[in-house]
Every structure is written in structure tokens, then in C-alpha cells.
Amino acid sequence: MLKKIVNISPGTFRLILALTVVVFHAVSFISFGHAVVYMFFVLSGYWIFKMYSEKYLKFNDSYWVYLRSRFLRLYPVYWVILFFTLSCYIILPGVWEVVLENSKDSVISNFVSNFFVVGNGIKNKYWFILPAWSLAVELQFYIIAPILVWLQKSKKTLFTFFIISSLVVVILVYFKAKVTGYDSVLLYLPYFLLGGLVYFWDLKVNYKWAKIALLLVVSLIVVSHFFTDFRMILLDKEERYIFLGYSVSEVFNCVLTVVILPFIIYNIRQPVKDFKKDSLLSSMSFVVYLLHWPLLQIYSLAVQTAASGGIKIIYAFLYFTGCIGFSYLLSKYVDMELEDKRRVWMKKFMQKRAII
């Protein structure tokens, strides 16, 4: 049983991470939601560096081909979910008023920044889809990743970037620099670079170490949440509990991300037996991650009016299964169809513009 869990496909692992975020936002007794996002950043770092180095560099104008490809991969399905989200906000009682209230400083610019996933945290601080903050960070990384590949002269180069970026983050967070209030890639670059190190150093991990890493992370989560006092410290939203100048909760999430790294390295090396199925699961992870937010608003309103605990459990079940079901439909019949068209475009473009 444990061997099957450790040997799950990359798409399955990404979907499990996304579903963990779904649960994290729906309940109040787990504290490792940020660690899940950081794991996504590590995975993105690996795959973006790999794709750009092995595929996009074949083009004469590799950078612009890469950006157009990323645009076509992310924005269309994001816009579909954003439209659904705004439709829910208009229909749900009292929610649209909250949206306008949070956008009152500049309604137009806030809508524009949410549409393009840029500018939030600088002037506009209200996300229509809250998890999109990490998408904004990823998009910033997508822009600078090719530059980092170009600067990669040896295996030591990216490691130097990793050390420097880590020190910058440590200093900025310690002194509570103003940038920490923004959704800036600067604060999360070390995680992306960790993924890059896995790729450029061709790091590999055997089953034994992957199993140990996974068991250790699960043990840390279970033990930390078993003791009431420590759980309350980790669940501190106002970051009142500090360790050496840093939030205990944030330190815990960073530790989880580092400890599980051997499992991540092992997972990305897993052979994919059914590429189409694994691609669908990967697509679902992205869709679930965003789509669960508007569904959560519906669930929250339903729970508030629930007459009993039994009804609340039914609503929770419907919410969770709804997230999976709607995400499956959107992934299979919208995102995967768009992805097929993008790949066809890439293939034709490669034939016309590839370096000979």
C-alpha cells in the first residue's frame, strides 16, 4: 500500500496538493496550506527550466514563443473560471457588494489587474479568486526564468542565485520590508530555484529516501496538530508567535517544503504509463486550485444557514465532490481541448521557426 502511495504519478501528486488547498480553505484546523503552494513552486521551477532548455531554445525567437505558449496555456482557462466566479458573486446575496467595497479605490484598475493577474498587492489588494495570488507569482517567474537559463554558465551559477535569493528573502522578511506585503516573486524565488537545481544538477532519489521524506512530513504534520498548544501557534493568522524574528507558522511551512523535497525529486522522475490520463490529472490540479474558491463562497453561505451538524456534513460532501466533478468537466472538455489546440499550434510553429 505504501509503495503505491510513494509511486503515484506526477499528475496524481499535483491533484492531491490542489485538493489539500481545497480542504485548507474550508476548515480551520490545518496549518500547512502555504507549504503546498511552495511545493507547487518547486515543481514549476523544475518543469519550466526543463521545458525552456529542452524545447523552446530550439526556436530562433525562443523567448517570445515561450511567452506566447505560456499565455495560451494559462489564461484561457483562468478567464473561464474568473467569469464563473464573477457570475457567482453577482448571484450570491451580499457578495457583489463586498467585491465593490474592496475595489472602491479603483474599480476599473482592480478588475483589469484581476483579469490579467498583474498589479495586485501594489495598488490593488483584492483578489476575486484568492488563490490566484500564487498564479501572479508564477507568471512573474515565467518572465525571468529564460533569463536565468541564459545566465546559467555552470552548475554553480543557479546555486549561487539560490543562495543570494534566499538571503534576500531572509533579510526582507526579518526587517518586515514593504515588499513582503506584495505578491512578488522575489519572496518565493528560492522555491523555483530549488526546482531548477533539481533539473540542472540532474538530481535523483531512490524509493527509500522518497518514502522516508514522505513519512517524515506526514509525521511532522500529525504530531504538530496533535498537541493543542503547538497547533494553536501554527494556526496563528496574525503571526503573533515569533521564532528568531520569523513567524513560527511560516517557518513550519518552509521546513515541510524542504523535508519533502526528496519525495518531489522522486515523483517527477516517475515514468508516466498513461500520458493522457496524467495530463488530465495535472489539468485538474490547476482547475481545482482556482475553481474551488467561488464554490467555497457558495458552500460558506449554505453552511451559515444550515440547521444542524448533519446538514453541514452533507454540504461539505457536496462542496468537495462538486470541486472534483466540475473541475473534471472543465479540464476534460475545455482545458484539454484548448491544450490540444496549443500543441498543434506549437508543432506547426516549430516546423516554421525552428533553428536548422
- Over residues 51-77, the pLDDT tens digits come to 999 989 888 888 998 999 999 999 999
Q: What is the pLDDT of residue 61?
A: 85
- CA atoms of 94 and 92, how far apart (whole Å): 6
pLDDT digits (tens, 9 = 90+) for 291-322: 999 999 999 988 888 768 889 899 999 999 99
- CA atoms of 156 and 179, how far apart (whole Å): 28
Under the banding of pLDDT at 50, 70 and 90, the label for residue 20 is very high
The answer to whether residue 356 scores a pLDDT higher than 60 is no
- CA atoms of 132 and 86, how far apart (whole Å): 14
Q: What is the pLDDT of residue 203?
A: 95
Q: What is the pLDDT of residue 124?
A: 61
- CA atoms of 142 and 154, how far apart (whole Å): 21
Under the banding of pLDDT at 50, 70 and 90, the label for residue 2 is confident
Which residue has 474592496 as its cell numbers?
A: 102
Which residue has 513582503 as its cell numbers?
A: 180
- CA atoms of 136 and 107, how far apart (whole Å): 19
Count of all residues that appear for the chain in the document: 356
- CA atoms of 80 and 111, how far apart (whole Å): 15
The answer to whether residue 99 scores a pLDDT higher than 90 is no
- CA atoms of 142 and 135, how far apart (whole Å): 10
- CA atoms of 64 and 241, how far apart (whole Å): 45
User: Residue 77: which of 33, 119, 118, 129 has the closest Cα?
Assistant: 129
- CA atoms of 217 and 22, how far apart (whole Å): 19
pLDDT digits (tens, 9 = 90+) for 237-278: 667 888 777 888 899 999 999 999 999 999 999 988 899 999
The answer to whether residue 286 scores a pLDDT higher than 60 is yes
SS3 for the chain is CHHHHHCCCHHHHHHHHHHHHHHHHHCCCCCCHHHHHHHHHHHHHHHHHHHHHHCHHHECCHHHHHHHHHHHHHHHHHHHHHHHHHHHHHHCCCHHHHHHHHCCCCHHHHHHHHHHCCCECCCECCCCCCCHHHHHHHHHHHHHHHHHHHHCCCHHHHHHHHHHHHHHHHHHHHCCCHHHHCCCHHHCHHHHHHHHHHHHCCCCCCHHHHHHHHHHHHHHHHHHHHCHHHHHHHCCCCCCCEECCEEHHHHHHHHHHHHCHHHHHHHHCCCCCCHHHHHHHHHHHHHHHHHHHHHHHHHHHHHHCCCCHHHHHHHHHHHHHHHHHHHHHHHHHHHHHHHHHHHHHHHHHHHHHECC
Under the banding of pLDDT at 50, 70 and 90, the label for residue 353 is low
Percent of all residues in the chain with a pLDDT value above 70, rounded to a whole number:
93
Q: What mean pLDDT is reported for the chain?
A: 89
Which is higher by pLDDT, 323 or 249?
A: 323
